[in-house]
């Protein structure tokens, strides 16, 4: 079974139902980027609340090996406040398309990620609008750095040559879009609205908690021009933008922060 | 007043992120009072909306009055149009043939979201 946007929230919601919370991953054979970063944030959030979670590891050797190669459990299964700085997996020139990368909230992090994404796309001869895709990564990371009020997030990029697809995912356990926007008195009323209302508002040009407010607008425009798709969850709701169609709905689990996956078809 | 042409890539490269836009705005300041400035945006690999917005927001009056003009192309025009709408200003542009025009405003209509019980 694939773990994707469709079911990762249910797996997390199921995990906390019992007295001994257990993440049931035994039947998982494949992880989509959204699922991997969502799962990571779920674990990180739980651990920061002082809760622990047992894990039923995937029976599938490839899926299990994938998590091991990503240092998934070391990375997420404890409070990030306790991670020694030198153990943060910072971006280096050797970063491959398959790495999960910890990103810190710094002034230059968005540009660092943009450069890295661009390099990886060039090296792999991916046929797409490289500057545009790299800029989407940049804007997603910049949003985290500017608005999440969290020190650490995660970035993940996956190229699927057989499917002719690129997926980028960014996730944090920060304050989320609703809290961020409603801190601006102009949008204070959003505090009483569902999460999806705030999320959709954030895609409108010029809407922000402080200054600017063009990043998500540009991402939405790029999704349209590249025939892509965006999945965003914040709190207990999600927004999905599929070219020109926008849908929203409930997540089975109420996770703090913002988790996003953007994917595009690329030339074969 | 003489027109001074500034290649955007001479201010910053790359031309992305709000903080780079701020950096470009600061580098531009010595020219603003002395010249009419034409910022040539065409040589950048990509000029992001955030970058352009930050640059323009530093000089709203100069942009609105036409003391700053942008040498643009079709792709960048759509970004300038968005900014002109959101910031309620007139943005003066010039094309490759030196013909001046005003970036059209862009009426943004939020999409109608559809609720769905399934994520498929």
pLDDT at A172: 93
- What's the ipTM? 0.86
Which pLDDT score, from 0 to 100, does residue A94 have? 37
**Spatial strand order in the sheet of B100-102:** B3-7, B36-40, B68-71, B92-94, B100-102
Gap from A69 CA to chain B (nearest CA, Å): 29
- The domain total for chain A is 1
Chain B residues near residue A111 by CB distance under 8 angstroms? 14, 16-17, 20
Three-state secondary-structure class, residue A54: strand
Peptide bond into B14 cis (omega under 30): yes
Chain A positions contacting chain B at CB under 8 Å are 5-6, 107, 110-111, 114, 131-132, 135, 138-139, 142, 146, 196, 200, 203-206, 211-215, 217-218, 221, 238-240, 244-250
Domain that holds residue A101: 2-265
Please answer yes or no on whether B113 and A248 come within 8 Å at the CB atom.
Answer: yes
Provide the token pair at B80.
Answer: 């300038």
Radius of gyration, alpha carbons of chain B? 16
Interface touch B120/A6, C-beta < 8 Å: yes
pTM reported for the whole predicted model: 0.89
pLDDT in tens, A197-238: 999 999 988 888 777 788 899 999 999 999 999 999 999 999
Residue numbers in chain A where pLDDT is lower than 50: 79, 82-83, 86, 88-96
CATH number of domain containing A7: 3.30.565.10
Q: What are the C-alpha distances in Å from A228 to residues A35, A240, B94?
A: 18, 11, 32
pLDDT at position A161 is 87
Taking contacts as CB-CB distances below 8 angstroms, the residues of chain A near B48 are: 135, 138-139, 218
The answer to whether B14 contacts A111, with C-beta atoms less than 8 Å apart, is yes
CA-atom Rg of chain A in angstroms:
18
Q: Minimal Cα distance from A110: which residue of B? A: B17
3-state SS class at A94: coil
Q: List the pLDDT tens digit at each of the 120 positions of chain B.
A: 788 999 999 999 999 999 999 999 999 999 988 899 999 999 999 999 999 999 999 999 999 999 999 999 888 998 999 999 989 999 999 988 888 888 887 776 677 888 887 776
> Which 3 state secondary structure label does DSSP give B29?
helix
Nearest to A168, CA basis, from A123, A219, A235 = A219
**A245 token code pair:** 């169609």
According to the model, what pLDDT value does residue A98 have?
53
- Contact, B17 vs A110, CB < 8 A? yes
- Helix A8-15 and helix A33-48, axial crossing angle in degrees, nearest 10: 20
Rounded to the nearest 5 degrees, what angle is found at the Cα of A185, between the Cα atoms of A181 and A187?
45
Buried b (16+ CB within 10 A) or exposed e, A233-263: bbbbbbbbbeeeebbbbbbebebbbbbbbbb
Q: In which element (H, E) is residue B6 found? A: strand B3-7
Q: What is the pLDDT of residue B15?
A: 94
| pLDDT score, position A21 | 84
Partner-chain contact B114 A248, CB within 8 Å: yes
Sorted by sequence, the CB contacts under 8 Å of residue A196 that are 6+ apart come out as A237, A238, A239, A248, A249, B113
Cα–Cα distance, A250 to A244 (Å, whole number)? 20
pLDDT of A163: 92
Q: Which of A243, A207, A214, A211 is nearest to B80 (CA)?
A: A214
As to burial, measured by CB atoms within 10 angstroms (0-12 exposed, 13-18 middle, 19+ buried), residue A185 is exposed
Our CA angle for A181, A39, B120, nearest 5°, is 80
Those residues whose C-beta lies under 8 Å from the C-beta of residue B81, and which sit 6 or more positions away, are: B91, B103, B104, B105, B106
Tokens for A65?
Answer: 């090996």
């Amino acid at each position: 079974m694939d773990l994707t946007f469709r079911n990762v929230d249910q797996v997390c919601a199921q995990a906390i139902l019992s007295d001994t919370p257990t993440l049931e991953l035994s039947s998982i054979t494949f992880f989509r980027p959204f699922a991997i970063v969502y799962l990571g944030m779920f674990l990180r959030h739980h651990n920061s609340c002082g809760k622990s979670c047992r894990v039923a590891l995937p029976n599938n050797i490839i899926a299990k090996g994938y998590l091991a190669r990503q240092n998934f459990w070391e990375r997420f299964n404890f409070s990030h406040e306790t991670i020694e700085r030198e153990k943060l997996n910072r971006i280096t020139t050797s970063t491959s398309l398959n790495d999960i990368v910890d990103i810190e909230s710094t002034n230059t992090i968005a540009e660092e990620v943009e450069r890295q994404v661009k390099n990886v796309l060039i090296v792999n001869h991916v046929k797409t609008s490289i500057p545009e895709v790299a800029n989407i990564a940049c804007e997603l990371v910049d949003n985290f750095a500017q608005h999440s009020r969290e020190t650490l997030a995660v970035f993940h990029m996956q190229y699927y040559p057989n499917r002719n697809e690129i997926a980028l995912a960014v996730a944090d356990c920060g304050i989320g879009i609703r809290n961020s926007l409603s801190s601006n008195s102009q949008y204070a009323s959003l505090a009483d609205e569902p999460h999806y209302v705030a999320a959709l508002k954030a895609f409108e040009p010029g809407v922000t908690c402080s200054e600017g407010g063009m990043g998500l607008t540009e991402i939405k425009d790029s999704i349209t021009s590249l025939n892509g798709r965006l999945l965003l969850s914040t709190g207990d709701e999600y927004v999905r933008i599929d070219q020109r169609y926008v849908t929203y709905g409930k997540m089975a689990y109420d996770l703090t922060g913002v988790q996003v996956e953007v994917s595009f078809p690329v030339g074969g | 007043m003489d027109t001074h042409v500034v290649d955007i890539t001479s201010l910053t490269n790359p031309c992305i992120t709000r903080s780079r836009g701020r950096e470009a705005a600061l580098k531009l300041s010595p020219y603003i009072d002395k010249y009419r400035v034409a910022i040539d945006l065409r040589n950048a690999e990509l000029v992001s909306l955030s970058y352009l917005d930050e640059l323009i927001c530093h000089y709203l009056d100069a942009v609105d009055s036409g003391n700053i003009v942008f040498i643009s192309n079709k792709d960048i025009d759509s970004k300038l149009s968005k900014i002109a709408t959101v910031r309620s200003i007139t943005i003066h542009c010039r094309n490759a043939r030196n013909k001046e025009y005003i970036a059209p405003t862009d009426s943004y209509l939020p999409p109608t979201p559809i609720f769905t019980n399934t994520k498929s």
